[in-house]
Chain A
């Protein structure tokens, strides 16, 4: 079964804009990870944030984690057409479960 929900389900923006995706989950976790998937391909690991961390940055990516609200967000700044993909959060509580995902389209 899936761990949680992501919103929005789909997001369409113009190149250069920021994209924010949210993830909510239900149980206690050890860490939360964000992945990207291009259509029909494997997953690419983006960032891991531990349960005792609140914010993490990697290049144009910024992830926040609020364990009290059981939610996380992924911000992609200055988006590019190449960022077009599906983005998933995955909670790690011993096993790894994925949210429903957000389909991001960045228009050139």
Chain B
């Protein structure tokens, strides 16, 4: 299957700093990327959907000023957690889809963010 690379896999940062997470589709062009967060022993919650070249669509309750998503190219999307706080500590996962609906989405390996 296609490969989606997510980086970093783990990050520990101080409260108040910003953290950037990258999601790259390595062998296909991703027209759509999704960002999720997952708390321990819970499911993945969709945060936002981004299409290349346009603004991300955020889910209700997700602060767009806090979780900045950029999908500037067909192979790269970034999620920046601005002014991170301990409650932002979570597992963040991206996924990428090459085509329209009904095509498989491929997932990155996730980023474990710990804010101290």
Contacts and interface: CB of A to CB of B under 8 A. Distances in A.
* Binding partners A and B: yes
B107 A95 contact: no
B40 to A, nearest CB: 8
A99 B104 contact: no
Given A42-B108, A43-B93, A96-B95, 12 more contacts: A1-B46, A2-B43, A2-B45, A42-B93, A43-B44, A43-B107, A88-B44, A92-B102, A96-B46, A96-B105, A98-B45, A98-B46
Interface of B: 1, 6, 34, 36, 41-46, 49, 59-60, 91, 93, 95, 101-102, 104-110, 112
24 contacts: A1-B46, A1-B59, A2-B43, A30-B101, A30-B102, A31-B101, A31-B102, A40-B91, A41-B109, A42-B6, A42-B109, A45-B106, A50-B102, A88-B44, A92-B102, A92-B105, A95-B46, A96-B105, A98-B36, A98-B44, A99-B43, A101-B42, A101-B43, A103-B41
